[in-house]
Amino acid sequence: MTQDPLTLYKLIVLYMLNRVTFPLTKAQVGDFLLEKEYTNFLTLQQVFAELADADMVTAKSSRNRTYLMITEEGRSTLSYFENRIGDSIKAEIDSFFASHELEMRNEVSVLADYYKSVSGEYEAHLTAKEKDVTMVEITLSVPDEDTASAICFNWQKKNQDIYRYLTGQLF
Q: Which of 123, 126, 129 is nearest to 107 (CA)?
A: 129
What's the pLDDT at 3?
Answer: 62
**What is the CATH topology of the domain spanning 5-108?**
Arc Repressor Mutant, subunit A (1.10.10)
What's the pLDDT at 63?
Answer: 63
Q: Which amino acid is at 72?
A: E
Domain chopping of the chain, boundaries: 5-108, 109-170
Q: Burial code of 13-22, b = ≥16 C-beta within 10 A, e = fewer?
A: bbbbbeebeb
Q: Which of 165, 114, 110, 166 is nearest to 142 (CA)?
A: 114
Q: Give pTM, 2 decimals.
A: 0.70
Q: What DSSP character marks residue 84? A: G
Distance between terminal CA atoms of the chain? 63
Q: What residues in the chain have per-residue pLDDT under 50? A: 1-2
What's the pLDDT at 138?
Answer: 93
> Which residues have C-beta within 8 Å of that of residue 110, sequence separation ≥ 6?
127, 128, 129, 155, 156, 159
What's the pLDDT at 1?
Answer: 42
Strand partners, 110: 128
